[in-house]
Amino acid sequence: MSDLPKSYEPADIEPRWYAEWMARGYFHADAAAPKAPFAMVIPPPNVTGSLHMGHALGDTIEDLFTRWRRMAAYNAMWLPGSDHAGIATQMVVERELRAKEKKSRHDIGREAFVERVWQWRRETGDRIFAQLKKLGCSLDWDRATFTMDPPYSAAVVEAFVRLYEEGLIYRARRLINWCPNDRTALSDLEVDYDEGTQGELYEFAYPLADGSGEVVVATTRPETMLGDTAVAVHPDDPRHREKIGKLVRHPIVNRQFPVIADAILVDPKFGTGAVKVTPAHDPNDFEVGLRHNLPMISIFDEKGVVNAEGGPFAFMDRFAARKAVKARLKELGLERGSKPHVHAVGHCQRCETVVEPMLSTQWFVKMEPLAKPAIEAVEQGKTKFVPESWSKTFFHWMHNIRDWCISRQLWWGHRIPAWYCKCGETTVARTAPGACGKCGATELKQDDDVLDTWFSSWLWPFATLGWPNETRELKTFYPTTMLDTGYDILFFWVARMLMAGLHFMKKVPFRTVYLHTMVTDEKGEKMSKVKGNTIDPVEVIDKHGADALRFALAWLTTHAAQGKNIKFSMSNVEDARRFANKIWNAARFALMNLPGYDADRFADRIADGPDRAELDLPERWILSRVQRVSEEVDGALEEYRIADAAQAAYHFIWNELCDWYIELAKAGLAKASGDSEADLIARSKIQGTLVTALETAMRLLHPFMPFITEEIWQKLPKPSGAPQSIMITLYPVRDVRFHDDASEASMALVQKIIVAIRNIRQERNIPTSTRLRLVLAVGDDYKKTILEGYQSIIAEHARCSEVRVRRSGGSGEYNVGQTAMAMAGDVEVIVPLEGLVDTAGEKAKLEKQIEKAVRDRDHLRKKLNDPNFTGRAPAEVLEKDRARLAEAEAAIARLELALQRLVGGAS
RNA sequence: AGGCACGUAGCUCAGUGGAAGAGCACUACCUUGACACGGUAGGGGUCGGCGGUUCAAUCCCGCCCGUGCCUACCA
């Protein structure tokens, strides 16, 4: 007897099973196991991070695939870890230091600060791991890796040194993106452009040095004029042609510089046709500076404050200087105008400070040689994107790739393995060199900078498996099978991993890249703490359970078209929770109805399929259906159609197993409630089928909802020798013995008939307590025989006292004018309604049905009379349409007959 | 500026060259011994607009309108 509570309470069940699975070591994959590998690495969350909805989505998808493959007998390995997240982590610890001790990192020094970060990590880092466990993630925790672990750090150094030795890493003075707030260089990808910033196009005049006039320039950043070293015009612009080669006089700092001609920089149609050139603070101007060999004058320090080059404006902040410079120009009578101007302004991805282009010496990775093999690998299908359309975006970026600035002026991260000698020699080495290789000096100074966090992340799929050592792990699990991640880090991470994997391992790092969408709030707005529209997955789990959250996300995970996202709301979770409750109650029903059931005996009975087991229609039908749905779910997962898989499982469980089979089983069990041997056998067939269908459904659903399926699975009776956990069972596989087209067709007809009767009842307001007498009229004896076999099922479910089946066309079987009639496929469903009939109403209903059938018939006739159609359409389409036409014609005939009788009877 | 997508039921979204689908919402009825976190039945869409290809178009092609996203140095 079941003592299950009436509704499902996940909080009691989930933590218990996760602990049990851990204890039994189910998450661990042995690299030496003689099984086909399925390997995946987690996109490592920041150590500072806590689980947000984006993680919840990705990790649900990843766990879903890991569990699914594990149940298909793969050696499934999902590798966990976390990322040291340079800037983010440094900022967190700095903030804490300031709050607790009112000190800056500079106050305590680099060594002490880095120790502080380690201490912070020991105390509060990897909080997210506990949250991943709550979500049910079956990660191989023994392999958890942190990007600052000593072996991983060694791999980072190894990668740097190799690339340096190969000439793919170089140090150069370039114009880079600088964040004056974080005081570090950024890569191009770390700059977000704020499209549509309302700015000003300000015009002012540079006087020509010879006094022959002036040249008016237009700029959005007047303050950078302090660093101007040229004015550029288009060589063919008649307005400016005679000024080319002349000098202008800088009105504020004591300097003269030329008017130059540059057809690349200058668009004569824009602004005044003359451009001020600031090579040290603008990427385009930098290029001009190189082309024309102009001086490059940096006018800001690392905080974005004007330096000594700014003359009277020194020590002013960038934005204060802008105002001051404008005011001064006005005083000097050089202001020439201003108009509003919308343009894109770059912001630091991390702190949103306006990025300053600065001239600076940094380390770079030469990307083109790395990009080429990655492009080819994707072209050749060695790595596939899902959805496929992302490969276009990938190619576009890869073909236009630029060198990657990898040095960061931070303290937290992998320190650049380069040492400088007073003699000017640079030594790049795996360990600190004892002396300069050139001059022998022993006082070498290591580069102060650390590497971009992504420089360690791009090694993730192989550095986590022991690279550069040749490990068993690498041999077994590299290349990994799939990678799942959000499309927002396609360039940051996926593309770079492809490049690093091909370069260092000579093989792609993953066969398939599944890119999932972004999760937003229900209005489609990005979730953010500032906006206050975040949904905390941990709170959701506490309230509704991890299974509900996971299923809600899976249900919504359709292929990620660009610019689309998952609009997530709590109602999605509530729906999923209702589903969990439904499953729970289906299991309760089963468990309440199993007294006397012997799982071993049923297993014997069913061992050779449903024929030998002598099952009845409902049993044959549901076993065929669970089989078909299993294949559907499995097939959908093969194609990464996650929502389709979730929805197929959902509809099977709710609309077939619960709505129909359990109802059919109730009647069957009631009928066979006695103690006779016959009853016992009849009962056991139903019990066995119910348990089998439910057990299969639980396995099917386990990757989506691991906890509830385990809980129920454990409670179901199983034949002796069954596995200890649903986690280590086999995923439902194709078994053609249970395919039963005939039973599915018969059941579909029975269902149609029952629905037609319920419809009649509903429309006429006939209460369920009124037992109906039913007549089914069919066109041939074959169908008559079949339906006669299902009379009792129909009677039970449509609440009829009597069901008669006869050939159609006869008369006198029911009282004229006293019946309701409807078509269920080609079966006439006739319900005598003595004394209950509203003749006018019946007439209207019949007419409506006729009208629809006539519409169908006319449409089909027209089609089938068109030789163009019959001549060109494929045979099966013609056949189908002819059958439909025949059905429509028969329906019209029978409905019209019924109408005539009705009218005749009433008159 | 270039590129990639999208426009299907009130809402959120699937879908396919051969009779329009789901979840939620809505309407009516039902406290039936698995479940009211439930059941039964139902209403609701010229599949953004206009052309074209085809025997057949929501699906393929072109144009237009609208929306979103990505990349890019427009002073």
Lowest mean pLDDT among A144-148, A198-202, A585-589: A198-202
pLDDT over 50 at A906, yes or no: no
Distance A117 CA to B53 C1' (A): 66
Closest residue, by C-alpha, to the C1' of B2: A396
Query: Which tokens hold the place of A711?
Result: 């809980």
Distance A388 CA to B49 C1' (A): 30
Q: Which nucleotide is nearest to A219 (CA to C1')?
A: B75
pLDDT over 70 at A836, yes or no: no
pTM recorded for the entire structure: 0.94
Closest residue, by C-alpha, to the C1' of B25: A571
Distance A389 CA to B61 C1' (A): 20
Closest residue, by C-alpha, to the C1' of B17: A873
User: What pLDDT, on a 0 to 100 scale, did the predictor assign at position A448?
Assistant: 94
Distance A753 CA to B25 C1' (A): 29
Question: Residue A819: beta bridge partners?
Answer: A832
Q: Which nucleotide is nearest to A657 (CA to C1')?
A: B34
Distance A32 CA to B62 C1' (A): 58
Q: Which of A88, A306, A69 is nearest to A184 (CA)?
A: A88
- pLDDT > 90: what percent of chain A? 65
Distance A382 CA to B50 C1' (A): 43
Long-range Cβ contact pairs of A609-615 (< 8 A, separation 24 or more): A609/A737, A609/A738, A610/A737, A610/A738, A610/A740, A613/A685, A614/A685, A615/A685, A615/A689
Q: Which of A36, A29, A27, A39 is nearest to A479 (CA)?
A: A39
Distance A91 CA to B74 C1' (A): 35
Closest residue, by C-alpha, to the C1' of B70: A393
Distance A510 CA to B6 C1' (A): 29
Q: What is the ipTM of this complex?
A: 0.96
pLDDT over 70 at A785, yes or no: yes
User: What pLDDT, on a 0 to 100 scale, did the predictor assign at position A845?
Assistant: 85
Q: Which nucleotide is nearest to A277 (CA to C1')?
A: B75
User: What pLDDT, on a 0 to 100 scale, did the predictor assign at position A816?
Assistant: 56
Q: Which of A696, A731, A699, A717 is nearest to A622 (CA)?
A: A696
Q: Which nucleotide is nearest to A658 (CA to C1')?
A: B34
Closest residue, by C-alpha, to the C1' of B39: A659
The residues near A170 (Cβ < 8 Å, ≥ 6 apart) are A164, A363, A364, A366
Distance (Å, whole) CA A683 – CA A695: 18
Closest residue, by C-alpha, to the C1' of B35: A585
Distance A270 CA to B70 C1' (A): 26
Question: Residue A172: beta bridge partners?
Answer: A362
pLDDT band for position A817 (50/70/90)? low
pLDDT over 80 at A812, yes or no: no
Average pLDDT over residues A73-82: 97
The residues near A131 (Cβ < 8 Å, ≥ 6 apart) are A50, A51, A537, A538
A762, burial (CB in 10 Å: exposed 0-12, middle 13-18, buried 19+): exposed
Gyration radius of chain A's alpha carbons: 38
Q: Which of A67, A74, A70, A72 is nearest to A34 (CA)?
A: A74
Distance A799 CA to B60 C1' (A): 50
Lowest mean pLDDT among A8-22, A508-522, A604-618: A604-618
When comparing pLDDT for A41 and A764, which is higher?
A: A41
Distance A657 CA to B41 C1' (A): 20
Q: Which nucleotide is nearest to A769 (CA to C1')?
A: B32
pLDDT in tens, A402-445: 999 999 999 999 999 999 999 989 999 999 998 898 888 888 99
User: What pLDDT, on a 0 to 100 scale, did the predictor assign at position A1?
Assistant: 42
Distance (Å, whole) CA A384 – CA A403: 25
pLDDT over 60 at A902, yes or no: yes
Closest residue, by C-alpha, to the C1' of B67: A563
Long-range Cβ contact pairs of A436-445 (< 8 A, separation 24 or more): A444/A419, A444/A420, A445/A419, A445/A420
User: What pLDDT, on a 0 to 100 scale, did the predictor assign at position A134?
Assistant: 97
Average pLDDT over residues A814-837: 77
Nucleotides of B under 7 A from a protein CB: 3-6, 12-15, 18-19, 22-24, 28-30, 32, 34-42, 54-56, 67-75
User: What pLDDT, on a 0 to 100 scale, did the predictor assign at position A552?
Assistant: 97
Closest residue, by C-alpha, to the C1' of B71: A397
Distance A741 CA to B53 C1' (A): 39
pLDDT in tens, A197-248: 778 889 999 999 888 889 999 899 999 999 999 999 998 888 888 888 899 9
User: What pLDDT, on a 0 to 100 scale, did the predictor assign at position A331?
Assistant: 92
When the pLDDT of each residue in chain A is averaged and rounded to a whole number, the result is 91
Closest residue, by C-alpha, to the C1' of B37: A578
User: What pLDDT, on a 0 to 100 scale, did the predictor assign at position A907?
Assistant: 39
Distance A730 CA to B68 C1' (A): 42
The CA dihedral of A494, A495, A496, A497, to the nearest 10 degrees, is 50
When comparing pLDDT for A674 and A156, which is higher?
A: A156
Q: Which nucleotide is nearest to A883 (CA to C1')?
A: B19
